């Protein structure tokens, strides 16, 4: 099952053009599969050429890192593992953001153990803590790099000014933020900023939390543990309205002998050579489908058609609820 996936530079890291977001294997997208099946899937991903894997201490909490650590231990010298700090965790639940240096250090020690590694390849601040100067956060990670516990520093969902301030203390390798054909707000200020600074963009939810695959219609129901259960963009009315975007991707895909998901991923890849999407999946056929997008070439005409048609489509629904925005800085 060995496959060659093109690699690309995202900041100073060279990784497979398509990474794998592991969150949904234990968190946010219930019901969750058996651990042994996910260990097998992660091994297959490596065999198929994926070498960039994303997790976080808060996914679970903790059990996602444990899963990734166990599954990828046999491939340690072949893979780049990214994880994140940035939340208080009490009684197994996320309790707001924190960027306190002592909490960062505690999080890193825990992540090193769970991931079964000596060094974290890429460490993100999961969400910015407005009560702690970003210079203190970057300075703490700089010390951790000097101690050999971390290799690269990243931010997630940070604003342009925060990125600049952090980068002045410690070069930021990558920004992880939501980016897809239906979530494009970062094009105004964030993407020009990181391009100027030589920072890569790791795009989470590049398939719109599954919606852009075409597998979610107005009849789909979500379990209460599924993050989409309460999201404004996933109400029945919103799904009906937003189907126009899926129809566009499907139509383009029909011309290219590709699926809607592959067109969505190829679109993201085509925007900048340093954008790396990290779609998540728990299914082997979806993994194979996503990887296939790395070799799909969209022409200038294809991209212009997508741009023109998508500009006529109004996306209905915010990506998060107001409570989620307040609680996690989303």
Q: What is the pLDDT of residues 89-138, one digit of tens each?
A: 999 989 899 999 999 999 999 999 999 999 999 999 999 999 999 999 99
- Please name which of 201, 205, 200, 202 lies closest in space to residue 216, comparing C-alpha atoms: 205
Token digits of residue 68: 């990734």
**Catalytic residues, which ones?**
59
In a domain, 150, yes or no: yes
- The tally of domains found in the chain comes to 1
In a domain, 49, yes or no: yes
The pLDDT of residue 4: 74
Most distant CA pair in the chain, distance: 54
CATH of the domain at 15: 3.20.20.100
In a domain, 266, yes or no: no
Residue bearing tokens 């779609």: 279
In a domain, 280, yes or no: yes
How many other CB atoms are found less than 10 A from the CB of residue 6?
11
In a domain, 129, yes or no: yes
Domain that includes residue 116, residue range: 7-213+272-296
In a domain, 59, yes or no: yes
In a domain, 222, yes or no: no
Residue 2 pLDDT exceeds 60: no
pLDDT band at 10 (very low <50, low <70, confident <90, very high): very high
The CA angle 169-173-174, to the nearest 5 degrees, is: 120
In a domain, 171, yes or no: yes
CB of 56 within 8 A of CB of 64? Answer: yes
């Amino acid at each position: 099952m060995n496959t060659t996936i093109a690699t690309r530079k995202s900041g100073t890291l060279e990784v497979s053009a398509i990474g794998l977001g592991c969150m949904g294997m234990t968190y946010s997208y219930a019901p969750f599969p058996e651990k042994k099946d996910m260990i097998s899937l992660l091994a297959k991903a490596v065999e198929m050429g994926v070498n960039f894997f994303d997790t976080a201490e808060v996914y679970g909490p903790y059990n996602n890192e444990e899963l990734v650590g166990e599954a990828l231990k046999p491939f340690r010298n072949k893979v780049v593992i990214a994880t994140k700090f940035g939340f208080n965790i009490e009684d197994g639940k996320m309790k707001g953001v924190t960027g306190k240096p002592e909490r960062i250090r505690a999080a890193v020690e825990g992540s090193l153990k769970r991931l079964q590694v000596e060094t974290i390849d890429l460490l993100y601040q999961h969400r910015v803590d407005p009560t702690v100067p970003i210079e203190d956060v970057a300075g703490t990670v700089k010390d951790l790099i000097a101690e050999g516990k971390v290799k690269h520093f990243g931010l997630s969902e940070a604003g342009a000014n925060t990125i600049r301030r952090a980068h002045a203390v410690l070069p930021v390798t990558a920004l992880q933020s939501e980016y897809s054909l239906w979530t494009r707000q970062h094009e105004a200020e964030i993407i020009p900023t990181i391009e100027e600074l030589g920072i890569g963009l790791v795009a989470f939810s590049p398939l719109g939390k599954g919606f852009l695959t075409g597998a979610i219609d107005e009849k789909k129901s979500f379990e209460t543990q599924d993050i989409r259960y309460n999201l404004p963009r996933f109400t029945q009315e919103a799904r009906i309205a937003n189907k126009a975007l899926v129809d566009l991707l499907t139509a383009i895909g029909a011309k290219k002998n590709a699926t809607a998901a592959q067109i969505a991923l190829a679109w993201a890849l085509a925007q900048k050579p340093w954008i790396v999407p990290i779609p998540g999946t728990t299914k082997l056929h979806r993994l194979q489908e996503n990887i296939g997008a790395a070799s799909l070439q969209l022409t200038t005409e294809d991209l212009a058609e997508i741009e023109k048609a998508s500009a006529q489509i109004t996306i209905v629904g915010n990506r998060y609820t107001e409570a989620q925005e307040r609680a996690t800085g989303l």
